[in-house]
Amino acid sequence: MTEHAQSTSRHQSGYTLVELVTVLIIIAILAVVVFPRLIATDSFSSYSLRDEFIAELRKTQLLALNNVDRCYRVVVTPSHYQQQTFGVNCSGNVIRQEPVQTLPRRTHLEFSGSDRFFIQFDHDGRANLACNGNCIDVIAEETLTIAIASEGYIYAN
């Protein structure tokens, strides 16, 4: 073998920097695209449900603050929750119902151990629930808490 042929075969035994960088980029792209699909969809359901329900409560609270001629309520059952609108004193027939928000499988909301309750807000934004602080448990793969302050502030705890 000639000297030139021996030196060429010696340099061909490894990968170039470009090849290594290309492989790392491909692995990174696969990690970003494929890995999230391998994680179970239920892994984020507690946080998602908590944030979604807080948003629904805050929306209902804002409606109550801005519409003194109506009463707004969020009704919770084991399978769903729904916003309802009543007349001034929150009695009688429902004037309007928003679409039902179905709870994901194996999740539910609880207030004082019950998964059937309703929350309505007065015209000052205060909830009718007899609690100050941790009020609602969001139960899925883990339990998270929604707190409602006595003056109406709603937050994740």
CA distance 85 to 90: 8
Cα 58 to chain centroid distance, Å, stands at 14
The segments of the chain whose pLDDT lies below 70 read 1-12, 36-44
The per-residue pLDDT for 90 is 82
The per-residue pLDDT for 63 is 94
The per-residue pLDDT for 76 is 93
Q: Are 39 and 141 in contact (CB under 8 A)?
A: no
The per-residue pLDDT for 7 is 54
The pair phi, psi for residue 139, each rounded to 5°, is -110, 120
What tokens were used for 86? 């009543």
All structural domains of the chain: 3-39 (no CATH), 43-156 (3.55.40.10)
What tokens were used for 99? 């679409």
The per-residue pLDDT for 30 is 85
The per-residue pLDDT for 78 is 92
The per-residue pLDDT for 131 is 79
The per-residue pLDDT for 135 is 87
